[in-house]
Amino acid sequence: METKIFKSDQINQAAALLRQGELIAFPTETVYGLGADALLPQSVEQVFTVKGRPSDNPLIVHVVDFPMTKEFVENYHPLTEKIVKNFWPGPLTLIFSIKPGSLSPVVTGGLSTAAFRMPDNEMTLALIEKTGAPLVGPSANTSGKPSPTTALHVYHDLKGKIAGILDDGATQIGVESTVLDLSGEVPTILRPGAVTKEKLEEVLGIEIPLDKHLVKESETPKSPGMKYKHYSPDTPVLMIRPADWNNALDWAKSNEKKVGLLATPKVAKRYESADRFVFDEDTIEAATRGLFSGLRALDEGHKVDVIFAEVFPEDHLGLAYMNRLKKAAAQNYFAEK
């Protein structure tokens, strides 16, 4: 299969392919998604096949506006209107209880709930509108690997497997959306993202718990991204605490390990001997934006034995960064033997 690259003036062509049951990757402000018409179960099944994704892993349904959810949702949490007004379009996914039979079990993972998001990307909103149906959109990569933040990343993983990619350059945020469960009485974060716990609590005026439960392979997750290990390159990743950089690099040298460094400019300039992917700035925003790109670059281009990754405090956006990094590293920090 030829995988075509579509630009903004070719959205009609991409939408036509989606209506025919083909798969089209699309850009969002977070990462690129692998799109299929959410109302065509056979197309959705192909998403799992192409990604190599476990079929019990539910998919996020991308909508053009909030009214599009009403065909599927059985009842809304009382805070829904306030949340949507403040955070849609944007990097916030909402989980609702749905009407029986309104969505195929292949979309929901067999659950009685489904996840919905209105992405903050004009090209993709136009794509959904012209398709005339909501789109499922898990990250457009091989399952378990670092998520794609450019069309080139998608092409690398899925060339020849999907009909096309709608290209809108690099994504702005770099990690997947926050997932907020609104199917129970208490809104609960299942996956942290750019819409932080602090932002939600400020707007809603209530405490928002964070579900830190890590789902084992035998369990069905309620949200994508809840697995213990995820986003992992082939190269082993170790998280490096601030006080451990010298010891970690000494350990690598004594064990003849070629190191790939994933760090801010402030840290990277101290260790110029290693192969490096340096974030644009010394900020958590730059680190989050560059995390997946950096993991991919060091894994695919540098032939390193181990990737040393800088850690950040686990608050605000740092919670989303560390959530992804911990899973990429299978929870492993550097520790001297």
d(CA 116, CA 105): 15
Per-position b or e across 26-43, b if 16+ CB within 10 A of its CB: bbbbbbbbbbbbbbbeeb
pTM passes above 0.85? yes
39 and 172 fall within a common domain? yes
State the DSSP code for 16. Answer: H
Cβ atoms < 10 Å from Cβ of 88:
18
What is the CATH number for 139?
Answer: 3.90.870.10
Would you say residue 177 lies in a domain? yes
290 and 177 fall within a common domain? no
- Phi first, then psi: give them for residue 304, nearest 5 degrees: -90, 160
Give me the domain span that covers residue 313: 237-328
Closest CA to 330 of 220, 233, 192, 222: 233
Residue 1: predicted pLDDT: 87
200 and 254 fall within a common domain? no
Residue 132: predicted pLDDT: 98
Would you say residue 145 lies in a domain? yes
199 and 241 fall within a common domain? no
244 and 145 fall within a common domain? no
155 and 261 fall within a common domain? no
Would you say residue 220 lies in a domain? no
pLDDT along the chain (337 residues), means of 10: 96 98 98 98 96 84 98 96 98 97 95 97 98 97 91 97 98 97 96 97 96 64 62 91 95 94 94 87 98 94 90 97 95 85
**Three-class SS of 26-87:** ECCCCCCEEEEECCCHHHHHHHHHHHCCCCCCCCEEECCCHHHHHHCECCCCCCHHHHHHHH
Would you say residue 199 lies in a domain? yes
Cβ atoms < 10 Å from Cβ of 55:
13
Residue 220: predicted pLDDT: 64
Residue 166: predicted pLDDT: 98
171 and 25 fall within a common domain? yes
Burial class (CB in 10 A: 0-12, 13-18, 19+), 115: buried
- Tell me, what amino acid is at 253? K
Would you say residue 68 lies in a domain? yes
137 and 276 fall within a common domain? no
What is the CATH number for 267?
Answer: 3.40.50.11030
**How do 33-37 and 60-62 pair as beta strands?**
unpaired
d(CA 14, CA 285): 32
33 and 146 fall within a common domain? yes
Using an 8 Å Cβ cutoff, are 125 and 35 in contact? no
* Residue that is last in its domain, among 157, 189, 204: 204
66 and 200 fall within a common domain? yes
Residue 112: predicted pLDDT: 95
**Overall number of domains in the chain:** 2
Residue 215: predicted pLDDT: 60
Query: For residue 56, what are the contacts with CB-CB under 8 A and spacing of at least 6?
Result: 109, 110, 220, 221
273 and 141 fall within a common domain? no
What is the distance of C-alpha 93 from the center of its chain?
Answer: 11
